[in-house]
Amino acid sequence: MTNTCNLEKLIRPNVAALEPYSSARDEFTESGAAMVFLDANENPFENGVNRYPDPQQRLLKKEIGLIKDISEKNMLLGNGSDEVLDLLFRAFCEPGKDTIITLPPTYGMYKVLAGINNIENREVLLTEAFQPNVPAILEAVDKQTKMIFLCSPNNPTGTALSEANIEQLLNNFKGLVVIDEAYIDFSETESWSKKLKQFPNLVITQTLSKAYGMAGIRLGICFASEEIITILNKIKPPYNINSLTQEKAIHRLQNISSVKKEIGSLIDEKIKLYKALLEISFIDKIVPSEANFILCRVDDASKRYNQLVEKGVVVRNRSNQPLCENTLRFTVGTPKENKLLIATLKQLKS
């Protein structure tokens, strides 16, 4: 079944009509193309960052394309994937009118962004196995529903969402299905980015903040059809990826073997951590994880959280999320940090 996704109906009318800002350097890529650049009111004295960055991030997109095997035309970069998510709201959701669907327990920013943009957030809980409840989701859809947010592997559970469930949503929902793959590089499951041609309503977000170890440079990625990318490009700030970020990211991507080595070591550490957590008396459930963290149910999450903080170990209490009562989420650290976490958990008094 092919879903006919009508972007003209999905896009906000003011965005459709918008004439985007054209930045000084849009037409010129390398500085060698001109004798002098006197177009952007920069300070001409060279210091490495006196020039504006490439607004289309061509060199960086090329490197991402090589690693992810995706055309640059299907790519938009953001100041973290949080910016990409915000652009999606602003391009497609009419404040005060449209709705989105999210599947708690999940990443908190979808709800916050809906709030900022005055969009109704319809929450359809994941099942007990932390999988999408497809009939209930389709039931919650109405004419104003523009996007469904899926997170796979999901934060905070670490579970990958079932391929069959996602496919059902892609086939039956006329709006955009956004799959947040922030943790995909830790997972055994394949990215949905290979299926852009098959599903015109598919949008994928990824990030260099997790497996690539670059949370500090703020680089998020959106993969989608050329048509969707063209819409997002209309509203993105002209120079949203700064020169230092572009440079650092290119360097990291050109050294992909060291990224892979770190991912391998974090996965090994996660397995060790999982086994060690089984031995902790006040932990009664550990959710198998496809990400770089582990969610556990404990006897009393706020007590254990405070005890850990007192000993200098900061973890995340996720108990305020549905289906997550008395849970703590542990990020996988270095071997030394993980040993310290386990030793500290073992010392905690009942």
Q: Which is nearer to ligand PMP, 204 or 345 (CB)?
A: 204
Angle, helices 256-278/335-347, rounded to nearest 10 degrees: 20
Residue 105 found at the interface with ligand PMP (CB under 6 A) = no
Burial of 213 (0-12, 13-18, 19+ CB in 10 A): middle
Q: Which is nearer to ligand PMP, 173 or 293 (CB)?
A: 293
Q: In the sheet that 202-207 helps form, which strands lie side by side, from edge to edge?
A: 75-78, 220-223, 202-207, 176-180, 145-151, 99-102, 120-123
The least distance separating ligand PMP from the CB of residue 245, rounded to whole angstroms, comes to 12
Query: Are the C-beta atoms of 144 and 99 separated by less than 8 Å?
Result: yes
Q: Interior CA angle at 314 toward 334 and 82, to 5°? A: 85
Positive or negative, the CA dihedral 16, 22, 27, 32 is negative
Size of the site for ligand PMP (CB under 6 A): 12
Answer for which of 180, 185, 269, 290 binds ligand PMP (CB under 6 A) is 180
The least distance separating ligand PMP from the CB of residue 16, rounded to whole angstroms, comes to 27
CB atoms closer than 10 angstroms to residue 23: 16
**Per-residue mark of binding to ligand PMP, 182-201 (x: CB under 6 A):** x-------------------
Q: State the Cα–Cα distance between residues 76 and 221, nearest whole angstrom.
A: 6
Residue 290 found at the interface with ligand PMP (CB under 6 A) = no
Residue 220 found at the interface with ligand PMP (CB under 6 A) = yes
| Subset of 50-89 contacting ligand PMP (CB under 6 A) | 80-82
Q: State the Cα–Cα distance between residues 86 and 147, nearest whole angstrom.
A: 12
Q: Which is nearer to ligand PMP, 209 or 326 (CB)?
A: 209
DSSP 143: T
| Stretch of residues binding ligand PMP (CB under 6 A), selected from 10-18, 167-175, 207-215, 303-311 | 207-215
**Per-residue mark of binding to ligand PMP, 113-152 (x: CB under 6 A):** --------------------------------------x-
CB atoms closer than 10 angstroms to residue 268: 12
Answer for which of 155, 187, 240, 245 binds ligand PMP (CB under 6 A) is 155
Q: Which residues bind ligand PMP (CB under 6 A)?
A: 80-82, 107, 151, 155, 180, 182, 207, 209, 215, 220
